[in-house]
Amino acid sequence: MVDSLVKGVARFHRSYFRKNRSKFVELVREGQNPDTLFITCADSRIIPHALTQSDPGDLFVMRNVGNMVPPHRPGQECSSTGTGIEYAVSVLGVSAIVVCGHSHCGACAALYQTEHPDELTLTRKWLAQGSRVRDLVLAQRAYGTPSARARFGGHKEREQVMRATEMAMIVQHLANLMTYPAVARRVADGSLSLHGWYYVIERGVVEAYDPEQLAFAPVVRPGLSVRPRTTALLAAS
């Protein structure tokens, strides 16, 4: 596998880098000035620059398991995600933040597992941030008891629960962004906008969250009518 990565580096240097050498030189000379902070999952199927067709220097990308944004708390321990948010907003001066979740998210699925390997101590603590979303999903779908968390009444029901969880996680973490003083201040003065995206991997479609409609709808569907997907949980979040 490493050999294939090395070959990829060679192709990058003789092709992409050569064609865009002046851009890289400019980015070094002028420094980075990204317009967007893009927070997404560490899932290997998510490729932010390919998805958005962005150039080097356009996106300040932060990735973690589950595209989570821990809420800001005064005196809290240093958080890699929180540090990145503060840096992007207060130093780089991005004008937009995108929280991009996706279909078939392993982190969301793990919220419904009753057992985890003993060595996943850090993972369990990290995933606990999504427990509120999970409990809301279960409550609104009449699966409120712990013993029912692994049972969704069949494959179709399970898929519906997973999609609802994945979307609700995005909404929750948009709300968490507003707990950061720098984010709240810049949103209030109109210099920063927040966006929730849901990437459907198998369809190549991105749906954006509309806080007024409490729904997700495709950002681009040329020639097709847009029918928002809504869920009651979004209002509760």
Domain residue spans of the chain = 1-31, 32-236
> Parallel, antiparallel, or unpaired for β 215-218 and 229-230?
antiparallel
> What pTM was estimated for this model as a whole?
0.86
Q: In this predicted structure, what is the pLDDT of residue 237?
A: 39
Enumerate the β-bridge partners of residue 205.
200
Residues paired with residue 37 on neighbouring β-strands, in sequence order? 60, 97
Low-confidence residues of the chain, pLDDT below 50?
143-153, 223-237
Residue 41's beta-bridge partner residues? Answer: 64
Does the domain at 32-236 match CATH 1.25.40.10? Answer given as no
User: What residue numbers does the annotated binding site for Zn(2+) cover?
Assistant: 41, 43, 102, 105
Q: What is the tens place of the pLDDT at every residue in 132-182?
A: 999 888 887 764 444 444 444 455 678 888 999 999 999 999 999 999 999
How far apart CA 166 and CA 179 sit, in angstroms, is 21
CB 202 within 8 Å of CB 208: no
Which residues are annotated binding-site positions? 41, 43, 102, 105
